[in-house]
Amino acid sequence: MSSSPPNSSPVREATKGALDWTEEKLKAVVQRFRDRKIAFIKDIETINLAKEQRTTPEWKLFIENVKDGTLRILFQMGLTLRKLENLGQSIHPLRDKIFKKYGIEGLHVAVVVQNEIFAKYVGNILVRAPTSERLKSEIENLFKNIENTVVFVQALDDIKKKSDVIVSKINAHSPNTFIISSATSAMEKCKQITENVMQRVSDYTHELYKSDIKRIYFLNRKEGTDF
């Protein structure tokens, strides 16, 4: 029986192979793995735009506080939607792909980020969270329970019906913060709905962020009943 030459032994070859895995190659493998998670976009320009969002301060703040892989992808998609919007490009193809892969709840997570609700939310709770661990908990709770913590008001919504839905969610889940958001033509209706809700939830106060094109109401549990 012949034996393999020492220089070509399996052990030596394996060792040589391991040494060939330089830091650059390892980084490349990790990068391909990360990019595979956003391959569902199926558009190279949008994929590259999504990858750029990993350098933003907002992304870095989020990944410091949320470890869930799916939420990270959806957060990245939200940043990408915002970037597309700011560039004047259509957001509908990406919205449709997010909905197809992650459903309405996943799309709502992305829209929260797109509409800058997350950034304003962090400012809203930062001074009220007693510890960094509680801050992480509140951020994760917002996104993992998005259907019970955020409502988007549309221009055609009925004020009473929408108010009833919000009050029911608050009474059922008692979130530390509940968010009511709207844009453009729905802003006045959002104001009326929030006023209606505030008359019916005694344990909450509210703060308003507004611009020319959006309103975001943060309904916060009163001091002594929250956190």
pLDDT at 127: 80
Looking at residue 101, its amino acid is K
Residue at 1 is within a domain:
no
pLDDT at 165 over 80: yes
Confidence band (pLDDT; 50, 70, 90) for 36?
confident
pLDDT at 43 over 70: yes
Q: Tell me if 47 is assigned to some domain.
A: yes
> What is the model's pLDDT at position 226?
58
**Structural domain containing residue 166:** 148-221
Same domain, 30 and 109: yes
Q: Does the pLDDT value for residue 70 go beyond 60? A: yes
Global confidence as pTM: 0.81
Both 16 and 110 in a single domain? yes
Mean pLDDT of 119-144: 90
> Is the domain of 99 the same as that of 173?
no
Q: Are 22 and 110 members of one domain?
A: yes
Instruction: Place 169 in a pLDDT band, splitting at 50, 70 and 90.
Output: very high
Residue 152: its H or E element: strand 150-152
Among 22-31, 118-127, 163-172, the range of highest mean pLDDT: 163-172
In the numeric block, the tokens 């800058």 are attached to 116
Residues 100 and 18 in one domain: yes
pLDDT at position 174 = 93
**pLDDT tens string 75-119:** 999 999 999 999 999 999 999 999 999 999 999 999 999 999 999
Q: What is the DSSP letter of 222?
A: P
- Across the chain, mean pLDDT equals 87
pLDDT at 19 over 60: no
Q: What is the CATH number of the domain that holds 212?
A: 3.30.110.20
Bin 177: left if φ > 0, else alpha if -120 < ψ < 50, else beta: beta
| pLDDT confidence band for 223 (50 / 70 / 90) | confident
If you average pLDDT over residues 42-52, what whole number do you get?
Answer: 93
Number of domains in the chain: 2
User: Under the phi-then-psi rule, with left for phi > 0, alpha for psi from -120 to 50, and beta for the rest, what region is 66?
Assistant: beta
| pLDDT surpassing 70 at residue 139 | yes
Asked if residue 197 lies in contact with residue 171, where contact means CB atoms within 8 angstroms, the answer is: no
